[in-house]
């Protein structure tokens, strides 16, 4: 395992639970269908469209709604209510395409002054 990756994981351990869920995530149509089929017992809406000018070349078309300062799927105990069917971004975090996410430093380190 790369030393950079191990160092990053150690920094993640000092993060407050659920901090990486505060901004919500972009989702694909397939991920939305998977979550809809799972049927979490929380108030809708769960997703909102991404501004067409901000859509990248990826297949992400919507983002999870932010409610009470966090992703709509984060429960009061900071756990994910759709954990078993969560979006790929969440499942792979803090990686993106097998590498440390480019925005990791901004998302975590600056937020927590680590």
Compute the distance between CA of residue 48 and CA of residue 65 in angstroms, rounded to an integer. Answer: 6
Q: How many domains does the chain have?
A: 1
Compute the distance between CA of residue 45 and CA of residue 42 in angstroms, rounded to an integer. Answer: 9
What's the N-to-C CA distance of the chain in angstroms? 22
- At 35-81, the pLDDT tens digits run 999 999 999 999 999 877 666 656 678 989 999 989 999 999 988 99
pLDDT of 1 over the 90 cut: no
Q: For position 64, what pLDDT does the model report?
A: 94
State both tokens at 100.
């440390």
Average pLDDT, the chain: 78
Q: What is the mean pLDDT of residues 86-107?
A: 72
The answer to whether 36 and 84 are in contact (CB under 8 A) is no
Q: Are strands 95-96 and 70-71 parallel, antiparallel or unpaired?
A: unpaired
Q: Which domain holds residue 10?
A: 3-112
User: Model-level pTM greater than 0.85?
Assistant: no
């Amino acid at each position: 395992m790369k030393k950079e990756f191990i160092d990053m994981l150690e920094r993640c351990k000092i993060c407050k639970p659920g901090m990486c869920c505060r901004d919500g995530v972009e989702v694909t149509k397939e991920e939305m269908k998977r979550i809809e089929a799972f049927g979490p017992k929380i108030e809708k809406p769960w997703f909102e469209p991404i501004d067409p000018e901000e859509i990248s070349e990826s297949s992400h078309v919507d983002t999870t709604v932010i409610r009470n300062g966090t992703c709509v799927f984060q429960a009061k105990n900071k756990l994910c209510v759709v954990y078993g069917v969560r979006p790929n971004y969440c499942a792979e975090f803090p990686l993106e395409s097998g590498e440390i996410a480019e925005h990791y430093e901004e998302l975590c380190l600056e937020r927590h002054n680590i």
